[in-house]
Amino acid sequence: MPETKTLTIGLAGNPNCGKTTLFNALTGANQRVGNWPGVTVERKEGSYRYNGNAIAVVDLPGVYSLDAEDEETSLDELVARDYLLSGEADLIVNIVDASNLERNLYLTTQMLEMGVPMVIALNMIDVARKQGLRIDPAVLSERLGCPVIPTVASREEGIEILKEIIARQASNPSRLDRYVAYPAVIEEAIASLLPWLIERSPQGTVAPRWQAIKLLTYDNTAIPAAGGRELEKLVVEHRRQIHQVLGEDIDIIIADSRYGFIHQIATGAVEHSQEIKANISDKIDRVVLNRWLGIPIFLCVMYLMFLFTINISSAFIDFFDIAAGTIFVDGFGALLSKISTPEWLKVLLADGAGGGIQTVSTFIPVIGFLFLFLSFLEDSGYMARAAFVMDRFMRFIGLPGKSFVPMLVGFGCNVPAIMATRTLENQRDRLMTIAMNPFMSCGARLPVYALFAAAFFPVAGQNVVFGLYLVGIAIAIFTGLVLKNTLLQGQASPFIMELPPYHLPRLKGVLLRTWERLKGFMVRAGKVIVAMVIVLTLLGSIGTDGSFGNDNSEKSVLSSMSRTITPAFAPMGLEQDNWPATVGIFTGVLAKEAMVGTLDSIYGNLAQQDAIAAGQAPKEESFDFWGGLGEAFATIPANLAEVPGQLLDPLGLNIGDVQDTNVAAEEQEVAVGTFGAMSKRFDGKVGAFAYLLFVLMYFPCVAATGTVYRETNLRWTLFVAGWTTGLAYWSATMFYQIATFSQHPGSSTAWIVGLAVIMVGTIAALRIARPLCFPTLQTQKRERSLVSRR
């Protein structure tokens, strides 16, 4: 039996060249998604077997070149370049779009100069033929010095031949000997630097010729710390000579020489069999990108995405919620009770860990449907058009057009919206979009709005809810403008985007991409969510006397803490006896929709102590495992039947009949006495609206917070949590003090002036803190400035 071994290959190519489709064709479902070390760029890995050998496949980020300058603007280029230099891969498969051959070969020439062992997959050959292009793979192979395999990854044509070539080449890798010939003065400079670099570079790691070119083009990030000041002086002298002789910047000369090399390769390998005419993509774009029709079409597509992601997926949320609750909370709790598990351990495992799993599971349909729709848009080619259409508006805030899609998704759920920021290449754009996203009023807040509308605004409830949505949008824009001028100064990344041809998405590819992203959420954000749910559950269950089972009661530690903290909310209208509202704020951190249950339980308990106490008495014998699962399955057809009625209300702003308290209580699933208890403790409509402003803006739920942490880092997570909560307190207090100014003009004046000073001071502090928060960005800008002057 032949010896088996594991080979590693990397997939490299331009965006929209079919690289991900080829990755799926090679690996199937044997994939896993993580992050590259130190950055938030996705690292996708997979595997397959060929002739007894295990082949590990790494899907590199799609890049147009390897001319990385800094970590802030070129994360993808840095990741791809560093991987190619690491030697981790036995072979690189360069996917080249046959319909855009010369542009794609620019990346190929750079990898030739790096000396990496390579095979070229000439993909989308069918598209090239439709455009009247005939490409001879044999001629390309001869001129490039490496195998060239025609493929159509979307139909898995040429995949088996590619696997055979990969196995053969990866087993016996060899460096390629083709390179670009530059003008004589540059070649002399390269020849002068080679001895230095060969002597100081580890054998077989970095190609010295490529290193020399990088030194001459000011890209010191790719050069190891070797050579000292003497080498630096030599490089500066060569740069001066090149500019004196050629009269152009060296990077322009290098690029021009590479394109000349590419043109020579393509000449003779490519024939135009017919006149190039406008294709179907061009004809569609005349309508989709039309100055007057582009935005209406985009809004229609976004409406469909919102409808699909929120309204249709919501039909399955109850199933996951009830099923997970039955299995992991009630079922697991009943099992622990039967084996006489201590109460504290039952709370920890069933209510805490089980409740965390239940919380995570409720996001599965929303996230799954969102990424299903986004994958469809990406594969079809429309996503690039959507970014183009909205670019002008978003650039006012300091963001590219692509950031609009995650913002829109935030109206449904902030968790998938934050995850959707991965489509933004620039770290600055990602951070700003993530910071703005929590102000998009997600669907989980709507039950809270509806509850307060029924209690305080029975006549104009819907107007109040719609106003809260508008306030959220305004605060998000304000946040973007503040960050644009403080922590995240600078312009939005240049909007240069390829418009790929339209395709009919393939079901297999769409489902695989959706599954990868959904699994990523379950594994990454789920860990943080479950841990935070356990902590909040313990605080809500443990009594001040050390007992357990005090959920939503006055005896819990959480309630005691709330009574202690409530005076801090007095400036926004919460009095000491309204401590249940503070408990609601705490449970809202767990999940905003959990606030309704908390407020109903506590306010109802205050109004009808005996009835609520009787209703909350534990009845272990009433638990029915199969009945719970049956109820979960029964919710799917019942909820799907309501979807047609939601077509005219995609935001869910119809909160029902709030004028009749009995009907409203039934629709909101709360006790009638809850409304009276709330009205008694809040300071009328003003106090209620101030509270709603706080709920709109404050600390994101644990799911969103966990996702922010996974997508960024601890520092930015703390900033987002602090900024949203601080702005919520500032806005609610400012509104309440202005609205009640006539009742206490002296104290209100002090608060209004003080809050204005605090806001100005905060913005000034953010400007000062920028160099401390982003030192690498400042250093890199200074380095580029020195290089340009030099």
Residue after which a domain boundary falls, among 212, 241, 272? 272
Average pLDDT over residues 262-289: 80
> Is the same domain home to 152 and 189?
no
Asked if residue 265 belongs to a domain, the reply is yes
42 pLDDT more than 70: no
Looking at the structure, tell me whether residues 33 and 99 fall in a common domain.
yes
Least confident of 220-234, 372-386, 391-405, 443-457: 220-234
β-strand pairing of 118-123 with 53-59 = unpaired
Q: Which of 20-24, 178-182, 202-206, 367-371 has the lowest mean pLDDT?
A: 202-206
Instruction: Judge whether 733 is annotated as a binding position.
Output: no
pLDDT of residue 694: 96
The CA distances from residue 544 to 103, 420, 538, 547, in Å, are: 69, 42, 12, 7
Does residue 110 fall inside a structural domain? yes
69 and 206 both lie in a single domain: no
Task: Check whether 330 is labelled as a binding-site residue.
Answer: no
Confidence of residue 47 (pLDDT cuts 50, 70, 90): very high
Question: Could you give the residue ranges of the DSSP H alpha helices within 267-398?
Answer: 280-288, 294-306, 314-324, 332-338, 343-346, 355-361, 364-380, 382-397
| 95 carries a ligand binding annotation | no
Alpha carbons 67 and 685: distance in angstroms, whole number: 59
User: Which residue(s) pair with 46 in the sheet?
Assistant: 31, 57
CA distances to 176, 324, 373, 787 from 254, rounded to whole Å, are: 20, 59, 42, 17
Confidence band (pLDDT; 50, 70, 90) for 268?
confident
Which CATH number do you get for residue 233? 1.10.287.1770
Residue 349 annotated as binding?
no
Which position has the higher pLDDT, 225 or 264?
264
| Better pLDDT: 139 or 415 | 139
Choice between 632 and 9, residue whose per-residue pLDDT is larger: 9
H-helix or E-strand containing 370? Answer: helix 364-380
- Does 151 appear as a known binding residue? no
Domain co-membership, 130 together with 50 = yes
Shared domain for 256 and 207, answered yes or no, is: yes
487 and 775 Cβ atoms separated by less than 8 Å: no
Mean pLDDT, range 162-174, rounded to an integer: 87
Instruction: For residue 222, give its domain range.
Output: 184-272
- Compare 256 and 410 and report the one with higher pLDDT: 256
601 vs 310, 449, 554, 583, CA distance in Å? 28, 17, 11, 11
Confidence of residue 676 (pLDDT cuts 50, 70, 90): confident
Same domain assignment for residues 119 and 23: yes
- For residue 74, tell me if it sits in a domain: yes
> What is the four-CA torsion angle of 188, 189, 192, 195, rounded to 10 degrees?
-120
Is 713 a known ligand-binding residue?
Answer: no
> Are 222 and 144 part of one and the same domain?
no
Whether pLDDT at 718 is above 90: yes
Do the domain assignments include residue 337?
Answer: no
Lowest mean pLDDT among 15-19, 625-629, 735-739, 772-776: 772-776
Q: Is 14 annotated as a binding residue?
A: yes
Tell whether residue 91 is among the known ligand binding residues. no
φ/ψ region of 218 (left if φ > 0, alpha if ψ in -120 to 50, else beta) reads: left
123 is in an annotated binding site: yes
Please tell me whether 27 is known to bind a ligand.
yes
> Are 95 and 17 within 8 A, CB to CB?
yes
Q: How confident is the model at residue 460 (pLDDT cuts 50, 70, 90)?
A: low
CA distance 334 to 328: 10
Q: Are 145 and 65 contained in the same domain?
A: yes
What pLDDT is recorded for position 154?
Answer: 86
Query: Is the CB of residue 385 less than 8 Å from the CB of residue 282?
Result: no
| Residues 158 and 249 reside in one and the same domain | no
Residue 773 labeled ligand binder = no
In this predicted structure, the answer to whether residue 542 has a pLDDT above a threshold of 90 is no
pLDDT of residue 315: 82
Q: Is residue 405 part of a domain?
A: no
480 versus 546: the higher-pLDDT residue is: 480
How big is the chain, counted in residues? 790
126 lies in the same domain as 226: no
| Residue, of 729 and 68, whose pLDDT is higher | 729
Instruction: Tell me if 33 is assigned to a ligand binding site.
Output: no
In a domain, 17, yes or no: yes
More confident position, 523 or 620: 523
Among 272, 293, 311, give the residue marking a domain's end: 272
> How much is the pLDDT for 739?
95
Averaged over 493-498, what is the pLDDT?
64
Neighbours of 591 (CB within 10 A): 22
Say whether 577 counts as a known binding-site residue.
no
Weakest mean pLDDT among 326-330, 558-562, 594-598: 594-598
Is 40 within any annotated ligand binding site? yes
pLDDT at 267 over 70: yes
pLDDT at 117: 92
Question: Does 408 carry a binding-site annotation?
Answer: no
356-365, 422-431, 599-608, 609-618 — which is least confidently predicted?
609-618
Span of 26-30, 316-320, 429-433, 652-656 with lowest mean pLDDT: 652-656
Residue 572 in any domain: the answer is no
Class of residue 45 by CB neighbours under 10 A (exposed 0-12, middle 13-18, buried 19+): middle
pLDDT for res 377: 84
Annotated ligand binding at 42? The verdict is yes
Confidence of residue 149 (pLDDT cuts 50, 70, 90): very high
Domain tally, the chain: 2
Residue 527 counted as an annotated binding residue: no
- Give the burial class of 715: count Cβ atoms within 10 A of its Cβ; 0-12 exposed, 13-18 middle, 19 or more buried: exposed
The pTM score is: 0.67
- Choice between 361 and 125, residue whose per-residue pLDDT is larger: 125
Q: Specify the CATH number for the domain of residue 122.
A: 3.40.50.300
C-alpha–C-alpha distance, residues 547 and 160, integer Å: 65
Same domain for 114 and 60: yes
Among the three residues 272, 288, 311, which one is the final residue of a domain in this structure?
272
Of 360 and 683, the one with more pLDDT: 683
Lowest mean pLDDT of 9-13, 313-317, 757-761, name the range: 313-317
Name the band, by pLDDT with cuts 50, 70 and 90, for residue 274.
low
Domain match, 16 and 114 both: yes
Q: What is the pLDDT of residues 426-441, one digit of tens each?
A: 788 889 999 999 998 8
Task: Give how far the C-alpha of residue 768 lies from the chain's centroid of Cα atoms, to the nearest Å.
Answer: 28
158 in a structural domain: yes
- Return the structure tokens found at 414: 């902030």
Start-to-end CA distance of the chain, whole Å, equals: 62
Does the pLDDT at position 423 exceed 80? no
Query: Which of residues 157 and 310 earns the better pLDDT score?
Result: 157
Q: In the predicted model, what is the mean pLDDT of the chain?
A: 80
Confidence of residue 618 (pLDDT cuts 50, 70, 90): very low
Is there a binding annotation on residue 20?
Answer: yes
pLDDT score at 525: 62
Say if CB 572 and CB 729 are below 8 A apart: yes
Q: Please tell me whether 172 is known to bind a ligand.
A: no
Please give the pLDDT value at position 784: 37
Per the annotation, does 28 bind a ligand?
yes
356 is in an annotated binding site: no
Gyration radius from the chain CA atoms: 30
Q: Are 428 and 490 in contact (CB under 8 A)?
A: yes
628 annotated ligand-binding residue: no
Longest dimension (CA), the chain: 94
